[in-house]
Amino acid sequence: MKSLIVLAHPEPTSFNAALAGAARESLQSVGHEVRVSDLHLRGFAPDEHGRHYRCRKDPARFDAQTEQRFSAAQECLPDDVRREVDDLLWADFVVLQFPLWWFGMPAILKGWMDRVFVYGKLYSGGRRLHTGVCRGKRAMLSVTAGSSAEVCVPDGQEGDTRLILWPVHYSLHYLGFDVLEPVLRFGVRGGLEGEAAVEQRRYLAEQIAEHRRLFSDLKAIPSVPFNAADDYDERRRLKPGAPVHSPFIRHRPDPIRSQGNCG
């Protein structure tokens, strides 16, 4: 088994880096070959821009999809993108390790997706979702948050963290990945002193130990459910009676019922 860990945190001694290290050690202990892509260490440029491309289909006007597809076909993708694409295609299992910043991914990881999920290479109109290039591979998010688990729920003040992650899950599903349930580590705070700092170190050590145990048995982690291909009609709309797994893809209300009884 070949595993790739993509780390998106600027501090090499951070808790996120420690989690990435724990996952690497645990996966290696059960026979995985592991690569780590530390985006900050690699100096990955997150902004998609024409300056990255040495081969251009249209030098006068930059269109990201056009240039991605052209460069993929000409085998002249930007060097940093080519390396990341090669790692993704090499791996059977991919972990995205990142802190939740402003209710989303850090900019460097969003930019990684923008640039590395190359049109014409990792997806196209005929190669996506259930026929995606990454079909048969698995992916999982490992995410830290400063707030407690009690407030990162549907009725909590910080909102449902798992729902916040749905667009990232769907992006991976779009490439064909089987997406595993995310690992969420809450209460990861800095700047503490005294007894609070001592308690935080103890708590984080427990979380790292749990991380090692989790990655030693991936088969025990369930998959995130998505609608099957035949749940959609010829217009790519959800069929009546098809299951609903997320409020992002759901049945529209019956227009007659929603109007109520006007007598």
Distances (CA, A) of 97 to 23, 79, 197: 10, 23, 24
All structural domains of the chain, each given as residue ranges with its CATH number in brackets, are 2-226 (3.40.50.360), 230-263 (no CATH)
Residues 158/118, Cβ–Cβ less than 8 Å: no
Residues 40/9, Cβ–Cβ less than 8 Å: yes
Of 46, 77, 79, 49, whose CA–CA distance to 63 is shortest? 49
How many residues would you count in the chain? 263
Average pLDDT of the chain to the nearest whole number: 91
SS3 state at 221: coil
CB-CB neighbours of 118 under 10 Å: 25
CB-CB neighbours of 181 under 10 Å: 14
Distances (CA, A) of 132 to 95, 156, 165, 197, 229: 18, 36, 20, 46, 12
Tens-digit pLDDT profile for residues 104-115: 999 999 999 999
- Angle, CA 169 vertex, CA 27 and CA 254 arms, to 5°: 150
Q: Element (H or E) spanning 24, and its range?
A: helix 15-29
Of 141, 186, 195, 187, whose CA–CA distance to 168 is shortest? 141
Tens-digit pLDDT profile for residues 149-199: 788 888 888 888 888 999 999 999 999 999 999 999 887 777 777 888 888
pTM score of the predicted model: 0.90
Of 166, 89, 79, whose CA–CA distance to 115 is shortest? 79
Residue 81: per-residue pLDDT: 97
Tens-digit pLDDT profile for residues 190-227: 777 788 888 878 888 888 999 899 999 998 999 999 99
Residue 141: beta bridge partners? 96
Tens-digit pLDDT profile for residues 52-79: 999 999 999 999 999 999 999 999 999 9
Residues 119-135 as b or e (16 or more Cβ within 10 Å = b): bbbbbbeebbbeebbbe
Torsion sign over Cα 134, 140, 144, 150: positive
**pLDDT at 263 exceeding the cut of 70:** no
Distance, CA of 248 to CA of 170 (rounded, Å): 10
Distance, CA of 113 to CA of 54 (rounded, Å): 20
